[in-house]
A and B are shown apart, each in its own frame.
Chain A
Amino acid sequence: MILDCLGQKCPLPIIELARAFPSVAVGETVTVLADDPAAEPDLKAWCRLRGQSYEGRSGDAFLIRRLT
């Protein structure tokens, strides 16, 4: 799954991710496209708080894996 949040300010990408997450199967990944400077710290923190895995970034693409 890809969530295009380019141009969105935080917390919008995090809200989009939280909304979409129930439809991600455990073990699958979701890619969040975001260019807000707060996206990286906030996606990492969200994964930590939610017990999910932040797999890294490539440019404006952030990869998150559902663990639970």
Chain B
Amino acid sequence: MVSFDAASGLPLHPLAREAWLAALDDGWADPARLYGSARRARQLLDGALASMAAQLGCRVDELHLSPNGTQALYGAVRGVRAARARVGSHVVHSAIEHSAVLHACGEGPATSVPVDLLGRVSLDAFEAAVQPDTVLACLIAASHEVGTVQPRVEVPVPVLVDAAQAIGRTPLPSWDLLAGSARKWGGPSLGLLAVRTGVRWVSPWPEEGGFPGSLDLPAVLAAAVALEAVSLERVAEDARLRPLVGRIRAAAGAIEDVEVVGDPDERLPHLVTFSVLYVDGESLVMALDAEGFEVSSGSSCTSSVLEPSHVLVAMGVSTHGSVRVSLSRWVTEDDVDRFCQVLPQVVARLRG
């Protein structure tokens, strides 16, 4: 069985797994306490925070950890609105943000900016959507569903960059607020929100300064180790995975009535999505699973809400028969070649 769904989650990086296991013995205490084992835990936490901040290009005091990436996104939007209430509450966002951003933005006045067929936001429309009472602009670094890397925006308001798929994969655009998820880079479930010094943000929870509740310290240590590891591997993995994704794009695109979606060049190195006309996504996922390949789908029949992916709809591409493939360090060239061989047979069989 080969996981082709790194964008949803992937096994712990081997070094992160080691760190996590070691931390179970060494870093279980509450870092906020004053006794010996707690001081040890505090040392470990400080080291992990310093390491993550360095990898992300921010200061330690700009970095907040959250239980997961989704909560980081909610916290980012709500915290800016709360801090900048005197200016206004209007928010600008692309139509292809993560649903947590869309939900949080929808709690107040918001303008959704469309994307083109490749999933690229219109820069002119994005910049024109900013009003005097706009307090935040949200633009994902690269689409988690189709891989398109977004152009850089210049707006006179703070920009929230959802970098869940970009961290450890591709250089980050400039940001005022940065959200991420350790699960996407080979760490355990842990989110982060970095807020540049000078950007007005307050915790939308009663707790001082950050996200509520105590941290899972072994998870934090493992996340930091994983981020260091993938950052070191990034250039080599990009060079390895980009052409492999290129092979999948070519193989899928060669099948009749299959459209490969997303920007062919300005894209994440590891992710590709295609739409197979006349076949439902659930059948494709199940048939590929039976062949040993785990993929995800943006089709409504595979979603918990039975709605098609808002990203695919915003792009204007077909939503049924959608397959998203995302590769990781665990995937080999042979796996990809076998996938390219099997895919046309699976599609032909399902179209029957």
Contact = CB atoms under 8 A, between A and B. Distances in A.
Size class of the B contact interface (CB-based, 8 Å): 20 to 34
Chain A CB within 10 Å, residue with most, of B278, B299, B318: B318
Interface in B284-325: 299-301, 306-308, 312-313, 316-321
B279 interface: yes
A37 B280 contact: no
Nearest to A36: B300
A37 B308 contact: yes
A65 B300 CA distance: 26
A14 B277 contact: yes
A41 B321 contact: no
B21 to A, nearest CB: 44
B278 A18 contact: yes
Contacts of A15: 278
A12 to B, nearest CB: 8
Contacts of B280: 9-11
A38 B278 contact: no
Nearest to A49: B259
A60 B259 CA distance: 26
B253 to A, nearest CB: 12
B277 A38 contact: no
A45 to B, nearest CB: 4
A38 B279 CA distance: 13
Contacts of B320: 10-11, 14, 38, 42
Given A10-B280, A38-B308, A45 B300 contact: no
B318 A41 contact: yes
B17 to A, nearest CB: 40
B317 A11 contact: no
Contact of B275 (A9, A18, A37, A45): A45
Interface string A24-63: 0000000000001110011011101100000000000000
Contact of B301 (A9, A18, A46, A49): A9
Contact of B318 (A9, A36, A37, A46): A46
A5 B301 CA distance: 17
Contacts of B317: 41, 45
Given A41-B318, A42-B318, A11 B277 contact: yes
B316 to A, nearest CB: 6
B300 A49 contact: no
Contact of A41 (B257, B278, B301, B319): B319
A15 B280 CA distance: 11
A41 B313 contact: yes
A18 B279 CA distance: 13
Contact of B300 (A14, A37, A44, A46): A37
Contacts of A10: 280, 299-301, 308, 319-320
A42 B316 contact: no
Given A10-B319, A38-B319, A49 B277 contact: yes
A15 B307 CA distance: 19
Contacts of A44: 316
Contacts of B299: 10, 38
A11 to B, nearest CB: 4
B308 A11 contact: no
A31 B12 CA distance: 51
A15 to B, nearest CB: 5
12 contacts: A10-B280, A10-B299, A10-B308, A11-B277, A11-B280, A14-B277, A14-B278, A18-B278, A38-B319, A44-B316, A46-B277, A49-B318
Given A18-B278, A45-B317, 11 more contacts: A9-B280, A14-B318, A15-B278, A37-B300, A38-B299, A38-B320, A41-B316, A41-B319, A42-B319, A45-B319, A49-B318
Interface of A: 9-11, 14-15, 18, 36-38, 41-42, 44-46, 48-49
